[in-house]
């Protein structure tokens, strides 16, 4: 039954077409025991498997089917990746735990994180970010074949790939560290506010991810409060206040780099940072843009005079934010609308 359920997951997340009925029940915990994978392990970065089917993280004969032992994860506010849908999984070495620091999950050596990206129901790339046994993190990606039979290792420099009728840019491995860095635990998005939601596990149970990880003894220290009392990011919740939605959106899409001790620490766009302390509001950019002379990073009340939204709207690869090379350059119109509405509502930077 677990095997069948995973095929159903592959149908929904990897773009297959299996039609298997499963019954999902709500439960306090998604699993009662964590079984580390013996096949999905961090590889030698100098000798990466040439095909996804050889990673040990998917079924060897059916690469769209995820290995049974991997734990699924979903984020409340996924970062924008050219309109792609994203699904994630991870596994840990036996006997290891995930350290928790200020709500940020910090994974141990030997961790494997896997993310699949789909557009229009078709898998385009499967990304890996793994930690060697010495704790060195490295990223690598597999580009799917047009027929969906397997995915092939992308060269270190990345490139532009044609997958079926879709032209899709894939990052170089060196670019991975721009978003995956020590400041965010090398695992952007793996934090309380993002993971505080229910997902369906291989047990056919729907349960809160944090509650399940805690129940499995994988968090150190263990939770001291119910997930009901922990942060939840809500950018897509139309009932939430616009300032909360916009700050959560910027947190998910920009704060991986724009935070203390990171590559772009001149801004701090974490949702928990007061607006007046972000170095965003009412401040001129350190970089000039000929298209937007005199524009501030954020001009209170004037979204069309704010670089934040002007750059989100731009189709220029050298101007657009978030990073245009993370998936195809397509503008997140919903995200732009949220941030513009928020900026329009601001009367003061304090």
- Among 167, 189, 220, identify where a domain stops: 220
Specify whether 198 is located in the same domain as 279.
no
Residue 301 in any domain: the answer is yes
Residues β-bridged to residue 191: 104
Specify whether 44 is located in the same domain as 170.
yes
Specify whether 49 is located in the same domain as 172.
yes
Q: What are phi and psi of 298, to 5 degrees?
A: -145, 120
Average pLDDT over residues 83-110: 95
Q: pLDDT (tens digit, 9 = 90+) per residue, 260-317?
A: 888 787 899 999 999 999 999 999 988 888 889 989 999 999 999 999 999 999 988 8
Q: How far apart are CA 350 and CA 347, in angstroms?
A: 9
Residue 60 in any domain: the answer is yes
pLDDT at 159 over 80: yes
Residue 236 in any domain: the answer is no
Specify whether 108 is located in the same domain as 149.
yes
Helix (H, G, I), strand (E, B) or coil at 310: helix
Specify whether 263 is located in the same domain as 205.
no
- Among 187, 220, 253, identify where a domain stops: 220
Residue 7 in any domain: the answer is yes
* Residue span of the structural domain in which 282 resides: 242-345
Specify whether 280 is located in the same domain as 163.
no
Q: How far apart are CA 215 and CA 145, in angstroms?
A: 39
pLDDT at 324 over 60: no
Structural domains counted in the chain: 2
pLDDT of residue 141: 96
Residue 231 in any domain: the answer is no
Specify whether 203 is located in the same domain as 75.
yes
Specify whether 99 is located in the same domain as 6.
yes
Specify whether 53 is located in the same domain as 152.
yes
Specify whether 201 is located in the same domain as 288.
no
pLDDT at 33 over 70: yes
- Among 167, 185, 220, identify where a domain stops: 220
Specify whether 186 is located in the same domain as 268.
no
Q: pLDDT (tens digit, 9 = 90+) per residue, 40-76?
A: 999 999 999 999 999 999 999 999 999 999 999 999 9
Q: pLDDT (tens digit, 9 = 90+) per residue, 181-203?
A: 777 777 888 999 999 999 999 88
Helix (H, G, I), strand (E, B) or coil at 212: helix
Q: How far apart are CA 161 and CA 167, in angstroms?
A: 6
Q: How far apart are CA 314 and CA 227, in angstroms?
A: 38
Specify whether 147 is located in the same domain as 286.
no
Residue 227 in any domain: the answer is no
Q: How far apart are CA 158 and CA 142, in angstroms?
A: 10
Q: How far apart are CA 191 and CA 297, in angstroms?
A: 27
Residue 294 in any domain: the answer is yes
Residue 198 in any domain: the answer is yes
């Amino acid at each position: 039954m677990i095997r069948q359920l995973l095929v159903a997951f592959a149908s929904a997340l990897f773009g297959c077409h299996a039609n298997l009925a499963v019954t999902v029940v709500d439960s306090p915990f998604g699993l009662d025991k964590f079984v580390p994978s013996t096949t999905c392990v961090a590889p030698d970065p100098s000798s990466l498997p040439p095909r996804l089917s050889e990673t040990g993280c998917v079924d060897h004969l059916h690469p769209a089917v995820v290995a049974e032992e991997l734990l699924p994860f979903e984020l409340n506010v996924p970062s924008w990746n050219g309109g792609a849908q994203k699904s994630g999984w991870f596994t840990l070495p036996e006997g290891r735990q995930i350290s928790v620091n200020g709500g940020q999950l910090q994974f141990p050596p030997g961790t494997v994180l896997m993310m699949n990206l789909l557009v229009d129901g078709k898998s385009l790339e499967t990304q890996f970010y793994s930690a060697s046994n010495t704790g060195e993190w490295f990223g690598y990606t597999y580009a799917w074949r047009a027929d969906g039979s397997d995915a092939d290792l992308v060269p270190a420099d990345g490139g532009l790939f044609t997958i079926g009728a879709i032209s899709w840019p894939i990052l170089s491995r060196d670019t991975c560290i721009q978003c995956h860095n020590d400041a965010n635990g090398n695992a952007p998005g793996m934090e309380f506010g993002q993971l505080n939601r229910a997902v369906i596990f291989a047990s056919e149970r729907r349960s809160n991810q944090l509650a399940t990880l805690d129940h499995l003894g994988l968090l150190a220290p263990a939770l001291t409060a119910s997930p009901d009392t922990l942060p939840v990011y809500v950018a897509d919740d139309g009932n939430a206040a616009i300032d909360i939605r916009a700050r959560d959106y910027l947190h998910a899409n920009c704060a991986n780099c724009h935070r203390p001790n990171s590559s772009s620490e001149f801004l701090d766009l974490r949702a928990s940072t007061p607006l007046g302390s972000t170095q965003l509001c009412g401040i001129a950019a350190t970089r000039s843009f000929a298209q937007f002379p005199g524009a501030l990073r954020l001009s209170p009340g004037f979204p069309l005079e704010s670089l934040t939204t002007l750059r989100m709207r731009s189709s220029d690869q050298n101007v657009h934010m978030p990073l245009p090379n993370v998936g195809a350059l397509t503008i997140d119109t919903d995200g732009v609308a949220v941030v513009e509405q928020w900026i329009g509502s601001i009367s003061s930077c304090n």
